[in-house]
């Protein structure tokens, strides 16, 4: 990794041999020229960094040249030997040359090597910043401590070990300060002073934010942040004469900060001052909006300054936080309690105008939450682009600052050259590199200005897209409402049709039931009349039969109908003859007994035929009456062809079962 610069004429920092060649290594001990002058590392062969050093690195022409003395690696040190693209860690302990190569048998003793000595524990680096602005644009001071260690040796060697030297606390502070300040400023800008004063987890949140962001930024360079501690965060109030009135400590580490002029927030500012601060915050947000809408006019002005870009980024971060509070709130009261009153009033004002213009749109809290989500989404998109640009610029500045430090180290090494002509030529070349580095600094500034302009343009486009998203969402809600109304209308129509159909069916059912009831009533009435008629006829017949049997023969002849007189007379005559003896009959008829018996049989046969004819005639009469009463009911017959009544179950003549 090391690049040889031909430091001829430089004394060796280990053996103090004066070298005149351009090989880059000491001609006597083989140590690389320009190595840091470290008495414990180079002369005592005790590999341990100084208290303010993260790493010490140097090279040797041959690896076996390390063992001018016994090599000692303390427990607090981690040492690596790099040959080619491989890094081999040297465990702690004491080593002689043979035992060393026996234990680490993958190393080549006759090849050049580069040695990296670092610490087992992380190196703490302190930072202190003033002028960090809150959401109200109030100044806040903060102090931090970041513990840094080497995580990836190959990546660290690729970026840092281009020349022998050290990485000290001061160098790390210069490298990390811009990133730490930027991250802390972004965090403070998204918080109000009152929110930070009432946030008990402020220290933990700030530590986590700084550690995660720094870990991502330093991973490319082989470094890692083991821990970040927020030592203090406080706000100082000054009067008109720049005398401190009081201080509000939001985070205080009593081991490092002496609390002076501590006051509570309500004691520090009056209600009138808070109103003025809120008005200033509102004016800043309005100016930010105007700057987004008029970015073309601000190209030639101070709109592109780094400070203004940071301020706009801070305002955007604050708005993201406020929109997030509204989106996460379940109702208006909760949003007010979370400190989003200004943004909520702005959204409600816009919603009131839209509701007045379009009364059919969905209004209420859900509308405000959705608009807040859309705006937060827009701000997050812009913030992500700014964050990507900022991260890229931060890495470029980190790399460039590292190059500038390396150039400065080479200049200091070149000043140790005893040959004046060589010193002047080397210094001229390094000063040229330094001038190019300054030019690159200006190019980075121009790139940052261009990124700021692009950020404004993209923010303006994002605002237009935000308006389109809001309109699309409102149109979608209106369409959904119309669809719901249509569905509800269809349901109402279907319900009405169903009810109408049910009413029709019910009416038809009622009518059919009424008709059936009337028919059943009429049939039942007919059956009742028929039963009454039959019963009356039967009773009359019973009475007639009863009175007729009780009457004398003379009364029977007198009461019998005209057409039955002859029949009844013959019947009575037969009964009289039956009670006579044979002699009497013979004397009465003047005939023989045989003729008299024959005549009696004939009369019996005639009487039987006459009775059968009368019964058949009566049955036919009854069938006719039943047909008339049942309304043209069909005449039922048995399988023998005999006519039967409508309600008979068996044939009256043959006794056969009738079909129902």
User: Tens of pLDDT along 625-647?
Assistant: 666 655 444 556 776 767 666 66
Residue 431, pLDDT > 60, answer: yes
Of residues 55 and 343, which shows the higher confidence score? 55
Neighbours of 597 (CB within 10 A): 12
Domain count for the chain, please give it. Answer: 3
Say if residue 327 is in the same domain as residue 313. Answer: yes
> What pLDDT, in 10s, does the model give residues 320-367?
777 777 777 777 777 777 777 767 777 776 666 655 444 444 456 677
Mean pLDDT value of segment 119-137? 91
Q: Is residue 132 part of a domain?
A: yes
Residue 617, pLDDT > 50, answer: yes
Mean pLDDT value of segment 108-116? 91
Residue 96, pLDDT > 60, answer: yes
Report the SS3 class of residue 514.
Answer: helix
Mean pLDDT value of segment 45-58? 93
The pLDDT of residue 128 is 94
Residue 112, pLDDT > 50, answer: yes
Mean pLDDT value of segment 483-498? 73
Say if residue 100 is in the same domain as residue 40. Answer: yes
Among 65, 86, 121, which residue terminates a domain? 121
DSSP output for 283-315: HHHHHHHHHHHTTTTTTTTGGGSHHHHHHHHHH
Query: Is the separation of the CB atoms in 5 and 11 below 8 Å?
Result: no
Of residues 126 and 354, which shows the higher confidence score? 126
In the block, residue with structure tokens 């900022």: 390
Residue 563, pLDDT > 60, answer: no
User: What distance in Å separates the CA atoms of residue 350 and residue 366, rounded to the nearest whole number?
Assistant: 14
Q: Is residue 329 part of a domain?
A: yes
Q: Is residue 316 part of a domain?
A: yes
Residue 32's domain spans which residues?
Answer: 1-121
DSSP output for 422-446: HHHHHHHHHHHHHHHHHHHHHHHHH
Range of lowest pLDDT (145-159, 259-273, 561-575, 642-656): 561-575
The pLDDT of residue 599 is 75
Say if residue 235 is in the same domain as residue 331. Answer: yes
User: What distance in Å separates the CA atoms of residue 246 and residue 235, rounded to the nearest whole number?
Assistant: 8
Q: Is residue 155 part of a domain?
A: no
**CA-based max dimension of the chain:** 204
Q: Which two tokens stand for residue 126?
A: 């302190």
- The pLDDT-based confidence of 304 (bands split at 50, 70, 90) is very low
Say if residue 62 is in the same domain as residue 132. Answer: no
The pLDDT of residue 500 is 76
Of residues 516 and 295, which shows the higher confidence score? 516
**Burial class for 382, CB neighbours closer than 10 Å (0-12, 13-18, 19+):** buried
Q: Is residue 584 part of a domain?
A: no
The pLDDT of residue 361 is 43
The pLDDT of residue 92 is 92
Give which of 146, 115, 114, 111 is closest to 48, Cα–Cα: 115
Say if residue 438 is in the same domain as residue 468. Answer: yes
Say if residue 176 is in the same domain as residue 106. Answer: no
Say if residue 291 is in the same domain as residue 229. Answer: yes
The pLDDT of residue 65 is 87
Query: Is the separation of the CB atoms in 392 and 450 below 8 Å?
Result: no
Say if residue 41 is in the same domain as residue 131. Answer: no
Helices and strands (DSSP H and E) totals, the chain: 16, 13
Residue 226, pLDDT > 80, answer: yes
Q: Which two tokens stand for residue 135?
A: 């959401």
Say if residue 258 is in the same domain as residue 110. Answer: no
Residue 395, pLDDT > 60, answer: yes
Query: Is the separation of the CB atoms in 163 and 2 below 8 Å?
Result: yes
CA distances, 104 to each of 1, 41, 98, 154, 255 (Å): 21, 20, 10, 19, 45
Cα four-point dihedral sign 592, 594, 596, 598: negative
Say if residue 200 is in the same domain as residue 299. Answer: yes
- The pLDDT-based confidence of 214 (bands split at 50, 70, 90) is very high
Say if residue 196 is in the same domain as residue 112. Answer: no
Residue 55, pLDDT > 70, answer: yes
Q: What is the DSSP letter of 42?
A: I
Say if residue 187 is in the same domain as residue 46. Answer: no
Report the SS3 class of residue 91.
Answer: coil
Q: Is residue 576 part of a domain?
A: no
Q: What is the DSSP letter of 120?
A: S
% of the chain at pLDDT higher than 90: 18
Of residues 414 and 349, which shows the higher confidence score? 414
% of the chain at pLDDT higher than 70: 72
The pLDDT of residue 146 is 95
Q: What is the dihedral of CA 494, 500, 505, 508, to 10 degrees?
A: -160
Report the SS3 class of residue 28.
Answer: coil
Q: What is the pTM of this model?
A: 0.59
Residue 441, pLDDT > 70, answer: yes
Q: Where does 142-229 have alpha helices with state H? A: 153-160, 169-189, 193-197, 202-218
Give which of 240, 246, 210 is closest to 226, Cα–Cα: 210
CA distances, 345 to each of 162, 194, 591, 643 (Å): 58, 20, 145, 101
Q: Which two tokens stand for residue 129?
A: 């910043």
The pLDDT of residue 362 is 44
Under 8 Å CB-to-CB from 11, ≥6 apart: which residues? 17, 18, 19, 416, 418
Q: Is residue 562 part of a domain?
A: no
Residue 170, pLDDT > 90, answer: yes
> What pLDDT, in 10s, does the model give residues 540-557?
666 665 554 555 555 554
Among 84, 106, 121, which residue terminates a domain? 121
The pLDDT of residue 359 is 43
Among 447, 477, 507, which residue terminates a domain? 477
Range of lowest pLDDT (360-369, 403-412, 642-651): 360-369
Q: Is residue 507 part of a domain?
A: no
């Amino acid at each position: 990794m090391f690049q040889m610069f031909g430091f001829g004429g430089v004394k060796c920092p280990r053996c103090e041999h004066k070298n005149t060649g351009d090989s880059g290594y000491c001609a006597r001990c083989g140590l690389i020229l320009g190595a840091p002058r470290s008495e414990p590392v180079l002369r005592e062969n005790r590999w341990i960094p100084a208290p303010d050093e993260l790493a010490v690195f140097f090279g040797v022409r041959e690896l076996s040249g390390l063992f001018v003395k016994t090599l000692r690696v303390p427990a607090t040190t981690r040492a690596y030997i790099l040959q080619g693209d491989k890094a081999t860690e040297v465990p702690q302990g004491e080593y002689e040359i043979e035992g060393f190569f026996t234990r680490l048998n993958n190393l080549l003793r006759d090849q050049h090597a580069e040695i990296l000595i670092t610490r087992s524990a992380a190196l703490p680096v302190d930072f202190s910043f003033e002028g960090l602005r809150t959401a109200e644009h109030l100044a806040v001071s903060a102090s931090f401590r970041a513990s840094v260690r080497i995580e990836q040796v190959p990546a660290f060697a690729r970026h840092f070990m281009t020349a022998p030297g050290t990485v000290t606390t001061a160098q790390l502070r210069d490298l990390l300060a811009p990133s730490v300040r930027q991250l802390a400023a972004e965090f403070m800008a998204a918080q109000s002073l009152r929110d930070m004063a009432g946030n008990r987890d402020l220290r933990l949140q700030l530590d986590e934010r700084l550690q995660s962001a720094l870990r991502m930024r330093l991973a490319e360079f082989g470094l890692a942040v083991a821990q970040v501690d927020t030592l203090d965060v406080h706000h100082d109030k000054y009067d008109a004469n720049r005398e401190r009135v009081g201080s509000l400590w939001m985070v205080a580490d009593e081991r490092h900060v002496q609390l002076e002029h501590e006051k509570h927030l309500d004691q520090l500012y009056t209600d009138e001052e808070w109103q003025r601060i809120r008005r200033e915050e509102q004016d800043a947000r309005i100016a930010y909006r105007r700057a987004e809408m008029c970015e073309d006019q601000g190209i030639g002005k101070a709109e592109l300054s780094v400070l203004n870009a940071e301020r706009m980024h801070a305002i955007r971060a604050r708005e993201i936080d406020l929109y997030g509070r509204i989106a996460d709130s379940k109702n208006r009261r909760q949003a007010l309690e979370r400190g989003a009153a200004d943004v909520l009033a702005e959204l409600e004002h816009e919603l009131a105008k839209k509701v007045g213009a379009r009364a059919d749109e969905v209004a209420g809290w859900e509308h405000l939450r959705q608009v807040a989500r859309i705006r937060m989404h827009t701000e997050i998109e812009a913030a992500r682009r700014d964050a990507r640009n900022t991260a890229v610029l931060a890495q470029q500045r980190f790399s460039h600052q590292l190059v500038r430090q390396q150039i400065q180290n080479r200049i200091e090494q070149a000043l140790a050259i005893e040959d004046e002509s060589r010193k002047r030529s080397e210094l001229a070349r390094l000063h040229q590199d330094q001038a190019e580095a300054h030019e690159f600094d200006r190019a980075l500034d121009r790139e940052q200005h261009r990124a700021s302009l692009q950020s404004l343009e993209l923010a303006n486009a994002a605002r237009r897209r935000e308006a389109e998203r809001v309109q699309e969402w409102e149109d979608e809600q209106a369409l959904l409402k119309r669809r719901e109304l249509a569905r509800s209308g269809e349901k109402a129509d279907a319900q009405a049709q169903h009810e109408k159909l049910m009413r029709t069916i019910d009416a038809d059912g009622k009518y059919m039931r009424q008709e059936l009831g009337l028919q059943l009533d009429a049939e039942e009435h007919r059956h009742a009349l028929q039963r009454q008629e039959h019963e009356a006829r039967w009773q009359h017949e019973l009475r007639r039969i009863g009175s007729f049997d009780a009457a004398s023969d003379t009364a029977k002849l007198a009461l019998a109908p005209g057409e039955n007189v002859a029949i009844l007379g013959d019947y009575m005559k037969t009964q009289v003859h039956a009670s006579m003896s044979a002699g009497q009959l013979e004397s009465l008829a003047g005939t023989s007994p045989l003729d008299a018996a024959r005549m009696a049989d004939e009369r019996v046969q005639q009487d039987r035929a006459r009775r059968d004819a009368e019964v058949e005639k009566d049955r036919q009469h009854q069938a006719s009456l039943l047909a008339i009463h049942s309304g043209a009911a069909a005449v039922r017959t048995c399988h023998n062809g005999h006519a039967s009544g409508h309600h008979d179950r068996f044939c009256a003549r043959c006794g056969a079962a009738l079909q129902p």
